[in-house]
Structure 1
């Protein structure tokens, strides 16, 4: 079976947790020298107000590998939200990526050749930094797993769609679904 890392880009998504401490993470994984590297460098070099991508670190001066760019989906809305973004969510993302390497989802021998872009949602109403860390760690790991394994499959998506779309923010009523 060919390596999934031969692809130009792998894309994954995961939502973990409930309420304001939930984590929603999208990842794009690709090799250096390809389009993901171009996107990675461009995002790092062109921040916008409130959305400053940064290198994800396990500790100051110790970036996680594969090098992972943290792109926040929400501008910091106060001191606790900022600590959740740059502290708990960053630490959770770093640990989730490291968990994926430790598990072998991301081969250790490829860690220097791969790049990850992670778009991360941290709710401005976040209240529990430990829950935000745990949820982000799990969401990062699951998003990487989805990217590497190509899940969900179209068959899984069709099965999930049987009852209509739904997410933590909205579920259409049966009348709306009927058109």
Structure 2
């Protein structure tokens, strides 16, 4: 059976503070729904969000071909350098690492496409840390997609412990009082 017959989806958040990376990945075969989404996103940029092919270096796109979609509008010179520089380089290296390690089969890399939605904080202040975090986030998101993790049981266990993210953690009272009824 071929790898990724339709679409696999993964997510990873790595680091903290302004240099953290949050990456969502969709990977699928050319000729399928991911190709349609990939081409549509590339052909229909919006103000502040211009998807582009991720490259290992100029004129050398990473394989599988990976579309970088920025979640935050590039704001200021350092944020622009992080978005188009360190985060793109980290994404490219994370994808290449996943292929090297067999997470994504190298012999199928030409037949696959990746869409990566990547968060780069407008307050980023360390391009090297941004690169490291994006590299790890890309790799982990691809691994999560391939391994279908977390499992539904792992999600329910985590929810029992309480939802949280780097921007908000509800109090115990909020969790109890806002639960839908009926």
The TM-score with structure 2 as length reference comes to 0.96
Give the corresponding residue for 1:141.
139
**Using the alignment, how far apart are the partners of 1:43 and 1:149 within structure 2?**
26
Q: Give unpaired runs (5+ residues) of structure 1.
A: none
Shift of 1:3: 5.0
- 1:1-179 superposed matches below 5 A: 2-6=1-5, 8-179=6-177
SS at match of 1:50: coil
Task: State the number of aligned residues.
Answer: 177
4+ residue runs of structure 1 moved beyond 3 angstroms? Answer: none
**Using the alignment, how far apart are the partners of 2:2 and 2:155 within structure 1?**
24
Q: Give unpaired runs (5+ residues) of structure 2.
A: 178-182
**Using the alignment, how far apart are the partners of 2:111 and 2:53 within structure 1?**
16
Shift of 1:41: 0.3
**Using the alignment, how far apart are the partners of 1:172 and 1:18 within structure 2?**
19
SS at match of 1:111: helix
**Using the alignment, how far apart are the partners of 1:3 and 1:63 within structure 2?**
23
**Using the alignment, how far apart are the partners of 2:149 and 2:133 within structure 1?**
20
111-120 vs 153-162, which deviates more? Answer: 153-162
The TM-score with structure 1 as length reference comes to 0.97
Q: Per-residue CA shift, 1:106-148, capped at 9, x if unaligned?
A: 0000000000000000000000000000000000000000000
Q: CA RMSD in A?
A: 0.8
